[in-house]
Structure 1
Amino acid sequence: MLENGFVLLNSHEFDIHKLINDLKTDWGISAQVEQHQDSFILNIGDFLCAIALMPAPIPNGEAIQFAKGNYYCPNAVAAAEAHKAHLMVTVMNQAENSEVAGMSLYSKIVSGCLKQENATSVYTSGTVYTADFYQKVAKEYLPNNEIPIMIWVYVGLGQNEQGNQLYTSGMAKFGKDEMEILNSKINMGTLHASLSSMCSYIISSGLVLKDGETIGFSAEQKWAISHSKSVYAPSEFSLKIDIQ
């Protein structure tokens, strides 16, 4: 499996024919579909995709909880609270495909699902994005083969007496370590932009960062990298980027 996520619906309905038409119209994607009650298998090139209609909210208020951290979408919590059903969207590869190609297809399918009249948002990459935001970003970046980092990798933000704390959620699906910036006194906006840019560059270039190396965006910038137990990232270990 390359990726899976959950499109939140305000009613228990899903029009597979609309999705197939929207994929063709918006992205030029042709899909062969097999239906098994409320589940659908889509064969798209070398990828196998599954969409399952689930007649209930995501359990334990999970989507609502993770929606609270989305600083891009002020209405994310309200959208999550209103959902009554959801679509589980999964993309799997059947051949040697790149993670970027798989994620691009995943985002196009999710964007198509979000065009359903009862779709409000999507729970993916560690947070909840409203339908309009996710579709806008996908449409802006994917046609140009650019990395829509804000919908592929969530950058969590926090503060304590030691300074600003940031972590990534989503790098693992590209075969990369999650990253953290800890106890930094640098402005949060600068840190967020730097970490997001790093994620985008690492994904697009295939760069593998290792313990003891440095990274930066100019000859003057040399931020030390260390590999150790995660503090905030959703993984056992993470790369710490020393930006002070």
Structure 2
Amino acid sequence: MSRSFLTFVLLERPATPNMVALAAALRSRHPELAANLDDGDAPGIRQNSAGASVIRFGDQLIAVMSMPTPIPQDSGLWSRAASVWPEAKAVAARHRGHLIVSVLGQKQQSLPTARLLTAVLGALIATMPQCCAVVWDGKIARPADLWLHLSTQSYAPFPDYPFPLWIDVLPFRSEPGIGAVTMGLSAFVDREIEFETSSLTLGALIKKVLGLAVYLIEYGRVLRDGDTFGGDAQERIAVRYKNSDKFNGIPVFLCTDSPVTLGHS
């Protein structure tokens, strides 16, 4: 699947990134790839037509634009973030500037693009003490220090790359017992996971959903409508393609370990 992610880095006060320092941080943090800044007259700086600074990292171009204003308010985003990051709303309220960061070009593959952009965001944070949060693809908010730490795993092999920066898992109560739904997985496989269980604990459910999500990020939409999967011969989890009845009709992989019949949509 092809995808171009648009990401915001929140700043406590407006600031412009130093692209030479960014290149040096990328080379230091990710020596497996080349960070090439190729303007001979002004090393590290290039402007596109929109006024963004551009850096070449590996074989891709990444644009970074500094904005001296806060990002638009999104109460749902920060409420979700606060469930795992208690300071989220306070950080959102006090930021005064942001960076817009994106990979240029069309038809970028989702996982390589996510890895690349995550590496660049980590290097930006390493060179800009003003950074306080990252909003990934408009959906997932995380603190800057978590990004600084986990982004070093941008090119780690499956399953150790930093997928917690890219997706949320949100628990809910359901008729069988409990459930959880992802937020952000659709950027990789066009659907979220909605998982309901009558037998798992909440911790086990979240672990299973995360395991399935990272598997799908790596291998794509390998689960077909009507498939079953499980960790062993006794565990059979049914999968249906469906538009969610609980979450505004979003397309989901509806998973259940309960003996119920799920309709198609």
Same fold (TM over 0.5): yes
Q: What secondary structure does 2:47 align onto?
A: strand
Matches of 2:13 and 2:224 in 1, distance apart?
A: 47
Matches of 2:170 and 2:207 in 1, distance apart?
A: 12
Determine if contact 2:179/2:205 at 8 Å carries over to the other structure.
no
| % same residue | 23
In the alignment, what sits opposite 2:60? 47
Q: Report the TM-score when normalising by structure 1.
A: 0.86
| Greater alpha carbon shift after TM alignment, 71-80 vs 230-239 | 230-239
Which protein has the larger Cα radius of gyration, Structure 1 or Structure 2?
2
Determine if contact 1:212/1:225 at 8 Å carries over to the other structure.
yes
Richer in helix (by share): 1
Taking the TM superposition and a 5 Å limit, the aligned residue runs for 1:1-244 are 1-17=3-19, 18-28=21-31, 29-32=34-37, 33-35=45-47, 39-59=52-72, 61-62=73-74, 65-70=76-81, 71-93=83-105, 98-115=109-126, 116-124=128-136, 126-139=139-152, 141-145=153-157, 146-159=160-173, 163-182=177-196, 184=198, 186-231=200-245, 236-244=250-258
Q: Report the residue type matching 2:114 in the other structure.
A: M
Matches of 1:127 and 1:175 in 2, distance apart?
A: 17
Q: Report the TM-score when normalising by structure 2.
A: 0.80
Q: Which runs of 5+ in 1 are unaligned?
A: none
CA change 1:106–1:235 in 2 (3 A) is farther
The offset of 1:161, in angstroms, is: 6.7
| Greater alpha carbon shift after TM alignment, 172-181 vs 214-223 | 172-181
The offset of 1:205, in angstroms, is: 2.7
Root mean square deviation of aligned Cα: 2.5
Determine if contact 1:169/1:234 at 8 Å carries over to the other structure.
no
After TM superposition, the runs of 4+ consecutive aligned structure 1 residues lying more than 6 A away are none
The offset of 1:183, in angstroms, is: 6.5
Determine if contact 1:52/1:88 at 8 Å carries over to the other structure.
yes
Q: What secondary structure does 1:165 align onto?
A: strand
Q: What secondary structure does 2:80 align onto?
A: coil
Determine if contact 1:180/1:240 at 8 Å carries over to the other structure.
yes
Q: Report the residue type matching 1:240 in the other structure.
A: L
Determine if contact 2:167/2:182 at 8 Å carries over to the other structure.
yes
Q: Which runs of 5+ in 2 are unaligned?
A: 38-44, 259-265
Richer in strand (by share): 1
